[in-house]
């Protein structure tokens, strides 16, 4: 009998990489990365490939242009600029009063559905994600409640074997500095990750994701291996 299998939804960022590293302690991991038209897709893909080689893990890349075709998100729409979030430099976390411009409609619902299909084919027992408490303050599809409700849906969504896979979100109660510290503790390759919303040669240093990354390493007291433009 081989190891249990887990599908890890991997963006190439810190959160999903730490979650996948945790999964690797108990499971044979299979990485899943989706190109939904995000501006940083090529950089994310490069990061996922680096991580997959280190983990000696199979990686499946999925092309999903539909979310980009919808527009409306600064992450996918070329007509919309990714906002700078320098205001986060002095804030512990951002709480959105309205829908952030970087919100991609139902993204995590779509990604978990794809991961569930992949898990069913693999007969994997778990689907690991990097959902966390800090991003859940702005993005509801990162929340513990979302995970609970999705797992409830999975009970009636998988037909090919008796027990459906379960979404596991080991970081769902953690803020970014805690995730960085945990990443160091479990040996996650943080230096291989890509967080920037843009696809430049270096992390821009001023988008929301870059600023959260900077703050996390600083607050965690961990040396930041990232090369930023600003």
Residue ranges of the domains in the chain? 4-220
Q: E-strand spans in 36-136? A: 58-63, 126-128
Residue 165 makes CB contacts below 8 A (sequence gap 6+) with: 7, 116, 119, 120, 124, 125, 126, 127, 154, 158
Stated pTM of the model: 0.94
3-state class (DSSP) for residue 84? strand
> Rg of the chain's alpha carbons, rounded to an integer?
17
What was the pLDDT predicted at 92?
43
pLDDT at 86: 65
Q: Are 34 and 111 in contact (CB under 8 A)?
A: yes
Contact 135, 97 (CB under 8 A): no
Are 41 and 199 within 8 A, CB to CB? yes
The pLDDT tens digits for 52-78 are 999 999 999 999 999 999 999 999 999
Q: Are 118 and 165 in contact (CB under 8 A)?
A: no
Tokens 């499971």 belong to 27
Instruction: Give me the torsion for CA of 104, 110, 111, 116, rounded to 10°.
Output: 170
Residues of the chain with pLDDT under 70: 1, 86-98, 160-162
The tokens describing 87, both together, are 């205001």
Instruction: Please state, in angstroms and rounded to a whole number, the distance separating the CA atoms of residues 63 and 112.
Output: 15
% of residues, the chain, pLDDT over 70: 93
192 three-class SS:
helix
Report how far residue 8's alpha carbon sits from residue 69's, in angstroms, rounded to the nearest whole number: 26
- 4-220: CATH topology: Rossmann fold (3.40.50)
Pairing between β-strand 27-35 and β-strand 4-9 as defined by DSSP bridges: parallel
- Joined together, the tokens standing for residue 88 give 């986060």
């Amino acid at each position: 009998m081989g190891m249990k299998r887990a599908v890890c939804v991997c963006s190439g960022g810190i959160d999903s990489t730490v979650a996948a590293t945790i999964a690797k302690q108990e499971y044979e991991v299979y990485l899943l990365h989706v190109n939904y038209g995000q501006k940083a897709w090529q950089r994310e893909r490069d990061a996922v490939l680096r991580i997959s080689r280190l983990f000696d893990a199979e990686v499946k890349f999925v092309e999903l242009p539909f979310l980009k075709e919808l527009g409306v998100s600064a992450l996918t729409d070329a007509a919309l600029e990714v906002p700078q979030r320098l205001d986060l430099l002095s804030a512990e976390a951002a709480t959105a009063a309205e829908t952030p411009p970087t919100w991609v409609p139902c993204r995590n619902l779509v990604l978990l559905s794809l991961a569930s299909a992949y898990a069913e084919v693999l007969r994997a027992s778990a689907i690991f994600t990097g959902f966390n408490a800090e991003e859940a303050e702005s993005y509801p599809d990162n929340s513990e409640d979302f995970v609970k409700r999705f797992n409830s849906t999975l009970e009636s969504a998988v037909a090919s074997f008796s027990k459906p896979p379960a979404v596991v979100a080991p970081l769902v109660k953690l803020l970014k500095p805690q995730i960085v510290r945990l990443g160091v503790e479990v040996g996650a390759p943080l230096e291989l990750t890509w967080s920037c919303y843009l696809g430049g040669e270096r992390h821009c240093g001023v988008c929301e994701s870059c600023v959260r990354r900077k703050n996390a390493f600083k607050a965690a007291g961990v040396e930041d291996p990232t090369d930023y433009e600003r």
